[in-house]
Each structure stands twice: as C-alpha cells, then as structure tokens.
Amino acid sequence: MSTQIPKQTEESTETEAETQPASKGEERRAEKRRRAAERREQRQEEEAEKAAADESTVELKVFRYDPQVEGKQEPRFDTFHVPFTKGMTVLDALMYARDTYDSSLTFRHSCRQAVCGSDAMFVNGGQKLACKTQISDLEEPVRVEPLPHAEVTKDLVVDMEHFYEQMEAVEPYFQTDEYPDGELEEQRQDRANREKIKMSTRCIWCGACMSSCNIAAGDNEYLGPAAINKAYRFAMDEREGEEMKQKRLEIIEQEHGVWRCQTQFSCTEVCPKDIPLTEHIQELKREAVKNNLKFW
Amino acid sequence: MYEHDVVVVGAGGAGLRAAIAAQEAGADVAMVSKLHPVRSHTGAAEGGINAALRDADSWQDHAYDTMKGSDYLGDAPAVEALCQESPEEVIRLEHWGMPFSREDDGRVSQRPFGGLSFPRTTYAGAETGHQMLHTMYEQVVKRGITVYDEWHVMDLAVTDEDDPAERTCHGVVAYDIQSGEISGFRAENGVILATGGMGQVFDHTTNAVANTGDGVAMAYRAGVPMEDMEFIQFHPTTLPSTGVLISEGVRGEGGILYNSEGERFMFEHGYANNDGELASRDVVSRAELTEVNEGRGIEDEYVHLDMRHLGEERILDRLENILHLAEDFEGADGLTEPMPVKPGQHYAMGGIETNEFGETVIDGLYAAGECACASVHGANRLGGNALPELIVFGKRAGRHAAGEEMGEAEIETGRSGDWQPADYEFGVEVGETGGSGTAAADGGAVVTDAESVLGGAVDRAQERVDELLSRKGRNHAEIRSAVQETMTGNVNVFREEGRLEETLGDLREAREAYKDVAVSDPSRTFNTDLIHTIETRNILDLAEALTMGALAREEFRGAHWRKEHQERKDQDWLKHTLISWNDGEPELWYKPVVLEGENKTYEPKSRSY
C-alpha cells in the first residue's frame, strides 16, 4: 500500500518557493539531490538483484469454498505465488493474490492495523490476525484457512453471528445508578482501577479466542473467553458500584459461564491484543467464590 | 422492503451517536452499514477529543483555535456548536463508561495537541477512537437499536425534480453482502449519512480499505453539492511502509522530529519558531517533505520521530499502543530507537454540504462526521477535533431527523444567498462518460410518492448488479490503483497547475476504462468483488471533484498549497468551493464563508505557530 513520492527533484523546487527564496545554498542542495538520486538508483538496482537471486515469491495455499458456485461447493485449496516484499503481511499477500490473480478470493479486512478485528484467520494452524502476521515469520507454504469452529460462509469468511450473540449476552454496557450531581462532572476513577480494566477494554471482537477454545467447540452455549472478558471489564470497573457487581457475577456464574473454563490458556495464547483472558476468567471465578461466601 | 423512521447509513462514531440521539427523541431507528459497527474506522483514531472541560479553559478559546486552524474557512455557527457542546458530549461518554486516561485525582486526563492554546485533548491512551467506538456501540446494544450489518448501501431513493433543493429523500437501497439480496429501506423521517472518510482515493493513507467515500458520492449524484473537497489533511506522522498512523499524541507528550542530520528542523529551519512539532498538521507535513526534498530526509523518504526521552513509564502509560503499531507495522522499537514517519493522507475536511444541524439541501437527507462538511474544519482540521465532531454533529443530526425542534439554521445550503458561479475552464472534460446511471435521471414525469421512488431506485440497483455480474469486462482493481497513483503523485501536499491538469486527464481515462468494468465472481454470497467494483465508481467521482476544486482554487490556504500561488488571498477566496453533479455535468460554484459567530466576528489573521 505504500508509495514512493515520484518526481522528487521536481517537487523539491516547488517547496523552496514556500520556505525560502533562491539562495547560494541552492546549488549545494541540487548537488546533494543529484547524489541522493544516484544513491537511490543504485539501491533500487541492488534490491532488484537481490530479489531475483533470493526466493522471491511466497507460496500460499488458501482454503476456497462457495456454496453457490459450481466447482467451489466442494472445499479445496488454491495455490498462489505472490512476489515477496519486505514487511509483507498475510493480509498483503492475500490482497495481492486477489487483485492480481483471482478477484473472487474472499476475506474480511478493513483497517490493516489490527484494530477493526475483521481478519482473524487460521494461518499455518494458528488463529492470527492476517494484517499483523509477517510472512517472514511463517514456514512455507503458508496455509490460510477460515477460523475453525465457525460456520464458513465463503472462502475465509465465517459466520460471526454466534460470536456476536455471546458478546451481547453479558449485558455488555455500562450500568450505574450513581452519577455525580453536576451535569458536566465526570465520575471519578482512580488510576489503579483504570489500569485494572485497561487490558480487558482492548478487545477488538476478532473471535480468535473463541475459535481456539476447546470448551466453546464442545458447548455451543458457553459464553466463551471474549464475552467473559467483556463481563470482567464491567465487573471490575469500580464506577459501576457494588450492586451492579453482584449482578455481573450472577451473569458469569450461569451454567455456561466461567466454571466451564478449564484454564487451557489457548485463548490467551492466540489473542492478538495480548489480553490475559484466562487470568481474567480465573479472577472472576475467585470473585464469584468470595461473593458466594459472603452470603453464607 | 424495510421501514423505519430514521435510517442511519454507516455505524462509526457519527452514525452510532446519531442513532442513539434519534432513538432518544422517540424515533424508530435502524443502522445500515457495510461493516459490523465495531469494525468501523473510528476505532483507529488514536489521539483524543478536544473539549474545554476545565475552569482555565473556555469554549471560546477552543473556537478561536479551531477557526485559526481552519485558516478562516470554517463556518462560525458550526465551529461554535462544536466547541460549546463538546464538553457535555465528552462527559456523556464518560457516563456511558468510556475508560478515559485519568489524573491522580480521578478526573479525566487532558494533553496538549497541535494548534491548541490549552491542553484540552481528552484521551484514552493512544486508542481513544477504539474506546469511543466500543462505548457507543454498547449503548446501541443496550437500547436495542436495529443494526443491518454487512449491508452495502448502493444508492439513495430521491425524487427527481430539476432543482435539487426541491427533492426529497425517502430512503436508501442496500445490498445484503451475505445473501446478495437487494432491498429498499424506507425512511419516514430522514436518512443520515455517516459513511466516514474517503482515504482510498489515495494510496498512502491512514484510512481503512472500507473508506471509499460512498456516502459523499451518493449524495453528490443525488444532487447535494460537495463542499471544499480540495482540502485534504496529510498527517505528518504515518509509518512509511503502510500508512499506519502514529498519533499526534506522541508530539503532544513531547516527541521530537529530526532530519537525517540530527537537526530538530521544526525550530532549526524555522518552520514554526514558537510551537515547533506542535504546529498545525499542514505546517508540519510541508516541513517534513521540504526536508526530504532538500536532501535531509532519511533514505530520501522520511524523517524521525523520537520519543525515547519520555521514558518507558510515561510511554507505557499514555502511548502504549504506539509501541505496538511501530513494532508490528514498521519493525521499530519506539523505546530504543526513533520511529520513521512521513506525511500520509489522513482526513477529508470537505464533504457533503450541510448546515449546523446536518441537514443537506435535499429534504430528509442528513450527513454527519467526516463525510459531512458543515464546515467545522475549513482548510485544515486540528488534531483532536474529529472525534468531537462525530458526537456533536451525530447527536444534532439524529435529533433533527427524529423531528425535534431545533430552531433556524444560520448556515444556508444550496444555491441561496450570495452564491456565485465559478469562472474557470477545465482543459479536460469532466463528469459522466455517456449513458446515465445517476440517481435522478429518469426524465419524464416527476415521481414523488415514496414507494415509487424507492421501488425505482431498487430496480435500478438490481439492474446494475445483474449487469456487472453477467457481462465480461475488466477488473476494477487496476482502475482503482491508477486513480490512487495519480492522486498521490499529483494532488498531494504540494500541488501545481500542470500536474493537477494531468491528473484530470488520468481520471478521464480511468472513467473511460470503468465503462468496461465487470465482476468476474458470479456468486451471490459475500461477493466482495462486486462491492469493491461499486466503491471504485465512488472513488472516481470523488477524485475528480477533489482535483477540480484544487485546480480552481488559486491560493495557498491551510492544507491546500499551490506552487503558483504562494499566499492566502482573502480578498478573493474567503469562500467555499462547491461542486454540483448536475446530472453528470459537474458544475463548480462558490459561497461565502460565515465568520460571524454568536457574539463576535472572527477576523482573518496571519497564521503562524
């Protein structure tokens, strides 16, 4: 997606018009530019040579399936050879393959910077965000599949509805009865409490954790790591107050809640935002126990 | 057909806030978005939200800074609304649970940002947009607002009177990406466009792949003028290889820019003797490129942004996300080395012409957020002013569309008041290349009843999709990249007449090529080839309008720099550029900027930092 700015020498004359009038330094700078251009050309040549000498393409094996299109109704893998460039991510490679070889190659993507959470996939056997997975870190051929344990819509696109339903099952919104008096006054929150919930608020709803979880695979009603983490985010937020915390703990204690987790840490391992999901689940278990003891 | 009182197109910050406001005002609201709401690009905003929250600060100071930042092309009633209402909207977000960064006393933190006279940028680490987006989506879930996600809105259902000011919008036509179904969405009270940015017009951008300016292009073809399209913000600190944004917060916290000779060039080369790195974004971007062009860039491409001296603790506390971005997308460790940065397309100051309530010239059609132009940002947006725009104008549009009484607007839309036609001859033909395909080009008797208007729009969309899927032709991707290349090459930070003209020629060629475009994926299931092909048409219309505006504006104002015209010309150019589609024959015209505020008039002053 990056570009070099073309016609550098022309542009440099433009900019001088703004910044300073023609001066004696002009010649010196022109000379500098000329040398810079030479260096640039030399470097480009070197790079081209290197690319030709090296293994210059990367081999992708990509899962293909379309319920409607003849020849794609039976899932298969297609192979694409994509020219490798430094810094290339799995998403870059997929986009290249789509725009160059097969425009029907389908995957979700948007921000390209690991915040929209659209492009979680199964890359060489692990849940990854395609946009922040460097090709150079992977063994070839790079095998790209849709997230396991979700229904495949087409190619690398899975149905996210179930994931969204679980997220929304934990009352994922802030609730309190005690606001400050002044309309323009914020609720106070100490830094330590903000720090406590910080990691949990980083979730981008990519679904990698849910896909990696054995329990979720076997129990469709299990809330799953992302939804429990969302519950944690509110349960630990002191701005909500004690009464709400009780309610939050009841939600996560339900039959398909925290007690299903067997602390296998797979969710924590795959989380692209490094959220300590298993720890959060464990902490909620402890809170729930403490809470139950209180009423005995 | 689906029916609601208010239909919001787009589910980022402005759309979510509009939907919540409309629902609170009693309307039955639906959101239609090509992405699930949490995928929206508001989530990538990093730095913060400007709001005059503290006693030592005032909305008047915020308004003054914004007007100065806009290089006096902002409209005072919109600017003042932004600054007056931002504090209550920020506190509302806090009351909705948004996890802001905090001071020792538990109050929300604020930090300095470029062009601000007071540290009034409220933030949540360097992930303010992510937290804001999720907080508002949580409120949408809480309220049970209907969301049609992964529905791509293809067109507006608008009546076809000759004068756009007499037209009415009755709804939208959308394509269900999941199933391929095309359906009408009737909006009894109003349609609110909140489709965000148009960064995909360029190829080095901080914007998402989804930011193709769909709403702006749709409104344009339906008869709403595009305003001030030539004003594009190039953010001074983007990663060279991907365009990923490095927040202004880094400079706000004390980050320093260096050239290849280790000079702190913002001061040492006199670009901004007072504010240095915290000058306005347009100033810093030009300074960086000047350094590179004069041979003081690193690898002839970028400069260094150094934050090491801030110390690990402060960086982790306030800028942690930046460490991840620099590491993941540029392989740089911000704790131990300076980060490479260069200017990249970031934000469109212009967009759909609206007044301060988000109303367009078409009855029942609103716009809010980056796709709209009220205008709050004029010729240059200040850092930290985009997020408050989303919540303030999202709320205003939502309420107005739901029928709440909000008084008379000060800003006029359409060809009213002192508008004037442009006197500029473009050397190249612009607009539609034969054939129709516009929203309101049926000819014959004017159809006004809502159902027929919507039915007609659905039929046209269906025909278009069927044709794209059935015929043979070229793929859109090469056309899109040709547009992006010429725009980044020639309509960038530095602009000159010859190359702008050249670009109009390139865009003409791209339009011709687009006539033969076809979709090779025959599937009705999740056909992204089809969606991207439709988007590319929008990119073409926007790129053309942007270049036309840039060519005709013969002055240097804010983000718009012209080689041949090295000064701001207030005598001739204190006016907004407007471009009307005019059923395929784009027309350029102007209207004066509104500098009269509630209690004062903003007198243009020379802009130095």
CATH number of the domain enclosing A253: 1.10.1060.10
Please check whether residue A33 lies inside any domain of the structure. no
User: Is pLDDT above 90 for A50?
Assistant: no
Claim to verify: residue A263 and residue A288 sit in the same structural domain: yes
Sign of torsion over alpha carbons B99, B30, B387, B543:
positive
Chains A, B: CB pairs < 8 Å = 223
- State how far residue B562 is from chain A, nearest Cα, in angstroms: 9
CB interface of A with B, residues 39-78, below 8 Å = 39-40, 66-69
Chain A residue nearest residue B271, CA to CA: A19
Q: Do B269 and A87 touch (CB under 8 A)?
A: no
Q: Do B44 and A194 touch (CB under 8 A)?
A: no
The amino acid at residue B224 is: V
- State how far residue A169 is from chain B, nearest Cα, in angstroms: 10
CB interface of A with B, residues 198-217, below 8 Å = 198, 201-202, 204-205
Which of the two residues, B39 and A71, has the higher pLDDT score? B39
Question: Annotated catalytic residue: which of B120, B167, B281, B318?
Answer: B281
User: Is pLDDT above 70 for B142?
Assistant: yes
- State how far residue B447 is from chain A, nearest Cα, in angstroms: 38
Claim to verify: residue A172 and residue A80 sit in the same structural domain: no
Please check whether residue A22 lies inside any domain of the structure. no
Chain B residue nearest residue A109, CA to CA: B209
Claim to verify: residue A153 and residue A197 sit in the same structural domain: no
Report percent pLDDT > 90 for chain A.
75
Q: What is the mean pLDDT of chain A?
A: 87
| pLDDT at A19 (0 to 100) | 42
The amino acid at residue B199 is: G
CATH topology of domain B2-232+347-404: FAD/NAD(P)-binding domain (3.50.50)
Q: What is the mean pLDDT of chain B?
A: 96
Asked if B160 contacts B460 with a C-beta cutoff of 8 angstroms, the reply is: no
Number of domains in chain A: 2
Please check whether residue A40 lies inside any domain of the structure. no
Q: Do A112 and B244 touch (CB under 8 A)?
A: yes
In which band, very low, low, confident or very high, does the pLDDT at A177 lie, cut at 50, 70 and 90? confident
The amino acid at residue A132 is: K
DSSP A89: B
Claim to verify: residue A170 and residue A274 sit in the same structural domain: yes
Claim to verify: residue A154 and residue A68 sit in the same structural domain: yes
In which band, very low, low, confident or very high, does the pLDDT at A296 lie, cut at 50, 70 and 90? low
- Condensed to tens digits (0 to 9), the pLDDT of residues B195-243 reads 999 999 999 999 999 999 999 999 999 999 999 999 999 999 999 999 9
Claim to verify: residue A166 and residue A127 sit in the same structural domain: no
Asked if B21 contacts B395 with a C-beta cutoff of 8 angstroms, the reply is: yes
Parallel/antiparallel/unpaired status of strands B494-495 and B169-176:
unpaired
Residue ranges of the domains in chain B? 2-232+347-404, 236-343
* Chain A environment of B522 (Cβ under 8 Å): 69
Residue A78, strand partner residues: A62
Cα B428 to Cα A177: distance, rounded to the nearest angstrom = 63
Picking from B171, B196, B224, B158, the residue whose alpha carbon sits closest to that of residue B10 is B196
- Whether B281 is catalytic is yes
| pLDDT at A40 (0 to 100) | 53
CB interface of A with B, residues 141-170, below 8 Å = 153-155, 157, 160, 164, 168
| pLDDT at B291 (0 to 100) | 98
Asked if B392 contacts B89 with a C-beta cutoff of 8 angstroms, the reply is: yes
- Condensed to tens digits (0 to 9), the pLDDT of residues B476-529 reads 999 999 999 999 999 999 999 999 999 999 999 999 999 999 999 999 999 999
| pLDDT at B509 (0 to 100) | 97
Q: Do B142 and A110 touch (CB under 8 A)?
A: no
- Condensed to tens digits (0 to 9), the pLDDT of residues A226-237 reads 999 999 999 999
* Chain A environment of B486 (Cβ under 8 Å): none
Structure-token match 């001859």, residue found: B425
Parallel/antiparallel/unpaired status of strands B29-33 and B146-149:
parallel
Residue A177 forms contact with B (CB below 8 Å)? no
| pLDDT at B502 (0 to 100) | 97
* Chain A environment of B208 (Cβ under 8 Å): 110-112, 116
Please check whether residue A152 lies inside any domain of the structure. yes
Picking from A138, A160, A271, A200, the residue whose alpha carbon sits closest to that of residue B526 is A160
Residue B60, class by beta-carbon neighbours within 10 Å (0-12 exposed, 13-18 middle, 19+ buried)?
A: middle
Chain B residue nearest residue A65, CA to CA: B525
User: Is pLDDT above 80 for B162?
Assistant: yes
Claim to verify: residue A173 and residue A271 sit in the same structural domain: yes
ipTM of the complex: 0.94
- Condensed to tens digits (0 to 9), the pLDDT of residues B409-435 reads 999 999 988 999 999 999 899 999 864
Compute chain B's Rg from CA coordinates: 23
Claim to verify: residue A81 and residue A173 sit in the same structural domain: no
- State how far residue A104 is from chain B, nearest Cα, in angstroms: 5
3-class DSSP string for B470-523:
HCCCECHHHHHHHHHHHHHHHCCCEECHHHHHHHHHHHHHHHHHHCCECCCCCC
* Chain A environment of B294 (Cβ under 8 Å): 12, 15-16, 29, 32-33
Query: What's the Cα-to-Cα distance from B303 to each of B98, B298, B342, rounded to whole Å?
Result: 35, 6, 6
| pLDDT at A279 (0 to 100) | 98
CB interface of A with B, residues 104-143, below 8 Å = 104, 106-118, 132
Claim to verify: residue A119 and residue A165 sit in the same structural domain: no
Find the range with the poorest average confidence among A1-15, A74-88, B218-232, B248-262: A1-15
- State how far residue B440 is from chain A, nearest Cα, in angstroms: 31
Cα B553 to Cα B564: distance, rounded to the nearest angstrom = 11
| Residue range A144-162: mean pLDDT, rounded | 97
Q: Do A106 and B301 touch (CB under 8 A)?
A: no
- State how far residue A296 is from chain B, nearest Cα, in angstroms: 32
Claim to verify: residue A86 and residue A149 sit in the same structural domain: yes
Please check whether residue A2 lies inside any domain of the structure. no
Give the nearest partner residue to A4 out of B142, B178, B301, using CB atoms.
B301
Parallel/antiparallel/unpaired status of strands B351-353 and B372-373:
parallel
Claim to verify: residue A71 and residue A123 sit in the same structural domain: yes
Residue A253 forms contact with B (CB below 8 Å)? no
Cα A271 to Cα A126: distance, rounded to the nearest angstrom = 11
User: Is pLDDT above 80 for A32?
Assistant: no
User: Is pLDDT above 80 for B145?
Assistant: yes
Asked if B246 contacts B322 with a C-beta cutoff of 8 angstroms, the reply is: yes
Phi and psi torsions of B600, nearest 5°:
-155, 165
Q: Do B97 and A237 touch (CB under 8 A)?
A: yes
Report residue A55 as tokens. 């293994």
Which of the two residues, A24 and B20, has the higher pLDDT score? B20
Cα B209 to Cα A112: distance, rounded to the nearest angstrom = 8
- Condensed to tens digits (0 to 9), the pLDDT of residues B321-331 reads 999 999 999 99
CATH number of the domain enclosing A93: 3.10.20.30
| Residue range B242-267: mean pLDDT, rounded | 96
Query: What's the Cα-to-Cα distance from A205 to each of A9, A37, A64, A108, B318, rounded to whole Å?
Result: 46, 46, 24, 13, 23
Sign of torsion over alpha carbons A235, A241, A244, A250:
positive
CB interface of A with B, residues 220-249, below 8 Å = 234, 237, 239-240
SS3 B170: strand
| pLDDT at A69 (0 to 100) | 94
- Condensed to tens digits (0 to 9), the pLDDT of residues B295-352 reads 999 999 999 999 999 999 999 999 999 999 999 999 999 999 999 999 999 999 999 9
* Chain B environment of A161 (Cβ under 8 Å): none
Asked if B367 contacts B156 with a C-beta cutoff of 8 angstroms, the reply is: no
* Chain B environment of A179 (Cβ under 8 Å): 95
Q: Write out the residue range of the structural domain in which residue A71 sits.
A: 57-158
Q: Do B523 and A17 touch (CB under 8 A)?
A: no
Architecture of domain B236-343: Alpha-Beta Complex (3.90)
Interface mutation vs chain A, best among B241, B524, B526, B563, most A CBs within 10 Å: B526
Structure-token match 């039959």, residue found: A255
| pLDDT at A295 (0 to 100) | 63
User: Is pLDDT above 70 for A43?
Assistant: no
Q: Do A186 and B329 touch (CB under 8 A)?
A: no
Structure-token match 């718009």, residue found: B560
Dump the DSSP string for B171-198.
EEEEEETTT--EEEEEEEEEEEE-----
